[in-house]
Every structure is written in structure tokens, then in C-alpha cells.
């Protein structure tokens, strides 16, 4: 198994867990304003940056056709959060499917031996940057899974890797 195969497997596993969290999210939690960044916003932020950092550089990124300017960034306070229009669960499921379809081709296209990430604010190799991207994805999946558990007492299943996804499909 190559490093590309490992990265693809972990991207797919984490995205499957994000989908599980989204599917388990009670409707009231999706836009719950008691969080500065509601569930939908954390899910969108996570998908946007996973998509963005699968690119060789910022100049090659083409935003999802339904991207809304500034929605990828978290609000710093509740008043700022009120100015963003929530995505529906169906819209974010569609975006997640878009990212899932992109993973294999995108990872295969990356030069994982490159000493630079392709993003000047990340001073690291391309391989390390991909590990950071998977870690960012997993961080927010855990955050959303915990919100679901606290609200509905429903857990999100742990997915070890892509082979496990294929067996359960």
C-alpha cells in the first residue's frame, strides 16, 4: 500500500464519519444558535477546507458551485454568525459527495515529495500538509459527533479505513 493509498483511505473514512454525523444531527441542532458556529457551519467549514487543501496550491482551487463568499470562515461572535445563510443538510450532503468523488484523483495528482505545501501560510512539505488536512477534518468530525451525542445520545460509528467502508456498503 502506498502513502497515496493510505491518505485516500483516511480521507474517505473521515468523510464517511462526517456524513454519519450529519445524518444523525437532529434538525434543531443543525442551526442551533446557542453555538457561535452552528453544526451546519462547522460541517461546511470542514468540507470547504478539505476540498481547498486537496489542491496543489491555492491558485488551482475552484470553489464548489454553491459556495457562498465568506461562509467557509468561522464567525468571531454571535452577531457576525447571524449574517451567514445556513446551508441545508441536503446541500452539504451534495458537497460531501463532491469532495468524496474528488479525493482519489486529487491525492494522485499531488507531489507528496514536494518540500513546500503549495500554500504559503503552511510552511511544511506537501505530505505533512496533507496529514494536517486529514487531522483538521478529523478534529471537526469529532466536534460534531460530540454535539450529536450530547443532544441525542446517538454515537457516530468509527470507520477505520476505506476497506471497512466497502465491506459495510
Total domain count for the chain?
A: 1
Q: Determine the average pLDDT of the residues in 100-125.
A: 97
Residue 96, domain extent: 3-168
Long-range contacts of 115-120 (CB under 8 A, 24+ apart): 118/55, 118/56, 118/57, 118/58, 119/53, 119/57, 119/58
pLDDT at 142: 97
- pLDDT score for 167: 57
Asked if residues 152 and 24 have their Cβ atoms less than 8 Å apart, the reply is yes
State the Cα–Cα distance between residues 87 and 48, nearest whole angstrom: 13
What integer pLDDT is reported at residue 14 of this predicted model? Answer: 97
Lowest average pLDDT, out of 2-6, 18-22, 28-32, 159-163, goes to 159-163
Residue 114 has pLDDT above 60, yes or no: yes
Mean pLDDT of the chain: 92
* CATH classification of the domain holding 43: 1.20.120
Q: Between residues 104 and 82, which one has the greater pLDDT?
A: 104
Residues 116 and 125 sit within 8 Å (Cβ to Cβ): yes
pLDDT tens-digit readout, 28-78: 999 998 888 899 999 999 999 999 999 999 999 999 999 887 777 766 666
Q: What is the DSSP string of 51-86?
A: HHHTSSSGGG----TT--TTTTSPPSSHHHHTTSPP
> Percent of the chain scored above 90 by pLDDT?
77
Amino acid at each position: 500500500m502506498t502513502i497515496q493509498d493510505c491518505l485516500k483511505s483516511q480521507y474517505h473514512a473521515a468523510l464517511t464519519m462526517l456524513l454519519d454525523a450529519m445524518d444523525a444531527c437532529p434538525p434543531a441542532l443543525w442551526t442551533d444558535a446557542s453555538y457561535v458556529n452552528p453544526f451546519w457551519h462547522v460541517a461546511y467549514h470542514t468540507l470547504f477546507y478539505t476540498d481547498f487543501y486537496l489542491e496543489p496550491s491555492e491558485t488551482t482551487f475552484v470553489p464548489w458551485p454553491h459556495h457562498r463568499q465568506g461562509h467557509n470562515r468561522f464567525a468571531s461572535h454571535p452577531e457576525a454568525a447571524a449574517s451567514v445563510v445556513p446551508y441545508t443538510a441536503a446541500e452539504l450532503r451534495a458537497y460531501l459527495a463532491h469532495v468524496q468523488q474528488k479525493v482519489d484523483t486529487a491525492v494522485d495528482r499531488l507531489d507528496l515529495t514536494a518540500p513546500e505545501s503549495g500554500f504559503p501560510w503552511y510552511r511544511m512539505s506537501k505530505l505533512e500538509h496533507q496529514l494536517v488536512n486529514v487531522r483538521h477534518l478529523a478534529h471537526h468530525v469529532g466536534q460534531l459527533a460530540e454535539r450529536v451525542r450530547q443532544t441525542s445520545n446517538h454515537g457516530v460509528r468509527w470507520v477505520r479505513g476505506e476497506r471497512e467502508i466497502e465491506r459495510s456498503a
